[in-house]
């Protein structure tokens, strides 16, 4: 959704009252595609702070964005800590924020990361492999009721209790140590049925990944912080692929645009925008994407 992101974020050249260029944050910089487009649109003086938890993604982005030199700063970190990340760079407010949630194709395609069942790999699923606590560790600590509740809430899994019981039993028996064995355990619990072409194990993998990386907690922290980090006229764009994350973004943005009197934010998108049919055909992963955007209003004297 690159063009829609750029249209709503509206990156452009210009300097503030102190003579510094506009600053945009890509809170999930990934391989750097969005950041590259923002830097091009805001040339010659716009700057980007790119944040990501994944060191491998940052390494790829570094190569892609090297030509922008000191207009781009890449940071290994969690967007839940965005206020601190910006403060450490002498920034109290920015002109735009992009948060493209979820997992990248590069992460899914690397079997060693353990995100996918398409190829057998370790039960890892950490976006930041420098931090402790992978998916295997999580399964060693979760009770069946807690896992079932997470599968139902985060994954929408209708067979959550049966899946949780089988998965944890096999883990205790030493029969569940790889992504392939996790998939086999889910199939044993509910069969290989596919709904809309989706493998039966998809919801379990998604849920474990979100738990391992505390994705919901990080998003809630960012949503609580970002209004204070936008300059008047600054915009925030959120792209979500998970229905629960989109629901959280939707409800939070609507509440924020109603909560203050006078309001500090206005909705740019009255309803979620979806990828064009052409983009969905080119990139099937984009089909579930939903984009929402807000703008920080000028301070009232």
Q: Which of 164, 190, 212 is the last residue of a domain?
A: 212
Contact of 6 with 24, CB cutoff 8 Å: no
- Asked if residue 123 belongs to a domain, the reply is no
pLDDT in tens, 91-104: 999 999 999 998 88
Q: Starting at the edge strand that comes first in sequence, how are the strands of the sheet with 230-240 ordered?
A: 72-76, 47-52, 23-26, 94-100, 230-240, 290-296, 265-267
Res. 301: pLDDT tops 50: no
- Asked if residue 47 belongs to a domain, the reply is yes
Q: Provide the CATH number for the domain around residue 166.
A: 1.10.150.170
Q: Which of 191, 212, 233 is the last residue of a domain?
A: 212
Q: Which of 212, 229, 255 is the last residue of a domain?
A: 212
* Domain, as residue range, for 21: 2-105+215-296
pLDDT in tens, 48-74: 999 999 999 999 999 999 999 999 999
- Asked if residue 43 belongs to a domain, the reply is yes
pTM, entire model: 0.92
Residue 69 backbone class (left: φ over 0; alpha: ψ -120 to 50; beta: rest)? left
Domain shared by 30 and 94, yes or no: yes
**pLDDT confidence of residue 258:** 82
Domain shared by 204 and 78, yes or no: no
Q: For the chain, how many structural domains are there in total?
A: 2
- Asked if residue 246 belongs to a domain, the reply is yes
Domain shared by 10 and 100, yes or no: yes
Q: Which of 104-108, 148-152, 226-230, 265-269 has the lowest mean pLDDT?
A: 104-108
Domain shared by 6 and 99, yes or no: yes
Domain shared by 160 and 200, yes or no: yes
Domain shared by 97 and 237, yes or no: yes
Calpha distance 73→68 (Å, rounded): 10
Q: Provide the CATH number for the domain around residue 99.
A: 3.40.50.150
Domain shared by 100 and 228, yes or no: yes
**pLDDT confidence of residue 47:** 96
Mean pLDDT calculated for residue range 21-31? 95
Domain shared by 100 and 7, yes or no: yes
User: Which H/E stretch holds residue 52?
Assistant: strand 47-52
Domain shared by 37 and 74, yes or no: yes
pLDDT in tens, 160-215: 999 999 999 999 999 999 999 999 999 999 876 666 678 999 999 999 999 999 99
**pLDDT confidence of residue 289:** 93
Chain mean pLDDT for the chain: 92
- Asked if residue 86 belongs to a domain, the reply is yes
Domain shared by 100 and 63, yes or no: yes
Domain shared by 90 and 229, yes or no: yes
What values do phi and psi take at 217, rounded to 5? -60, -40
pLDDT in tens, 120-140: 999 999 999 999 999 999 999
Res. 262: pLDDT tops 80: no
């Amino acid at each position: 959704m690159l063009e829609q992101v750029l249209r709503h974020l509206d990156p452009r050249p210009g300097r503030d009252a102190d003579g510094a260029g506009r600053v945009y944050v890509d809170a999930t910089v990934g391989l750097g595609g969005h950041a590259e487009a923002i830097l091009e649109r805001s040339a010659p003086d716009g700057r980007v702070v790119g944040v990501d938890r994944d060191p491998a993604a940052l390494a790829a982005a570094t190569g892609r964005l090297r030509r922008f030199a000191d207009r781009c700063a890449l940071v290994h970190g969690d967007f839940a800590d965005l206020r601190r990340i910006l403060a450490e760079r002498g920034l109290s407010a920015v002109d735009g924020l992009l948060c493209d949630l979820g997992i990248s194709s590069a992460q899914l395609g690397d079997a060693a990361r353990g995100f996918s069942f398409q190829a057998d790999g370790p039960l890892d699923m950490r976006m930041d492999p420098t931090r402790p606590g992978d998916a295997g560790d999580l399964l060693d600590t979760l009770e069946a009721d807690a896992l079932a509740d997470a599968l139902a809430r985060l994954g929408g899994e209708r067979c959550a209790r049966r899946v949780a019981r089988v998965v944890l039993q096999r883990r205790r028996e030493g029969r569940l140590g790889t992504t392939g064995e996790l998939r086999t355990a889910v199939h044993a619990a509910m069969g290989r049925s596919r709904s809309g072409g989706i493998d039966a194990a998809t919801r379990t993998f998604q849920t474990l990944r979100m738990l391992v990386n505390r994705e919901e907690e990080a998003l809630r922290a960012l949503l609580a912080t970002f209004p204070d980090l936008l300059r008047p006229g600054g915009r925030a764009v959120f792209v979500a692929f998970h229905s629960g994350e989109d629901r959280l973004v939707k409800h939070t943005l609507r509440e924020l645009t109603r909560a203050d009197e006078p309001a500090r934010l206005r909705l740019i998108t009255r309803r979620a925008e979806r990828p064009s049919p052409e983009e969905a055909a080119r990139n099937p992963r984009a089909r579930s994407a939903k984009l929402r955007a807000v703008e920080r209003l000028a301070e009232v004297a």
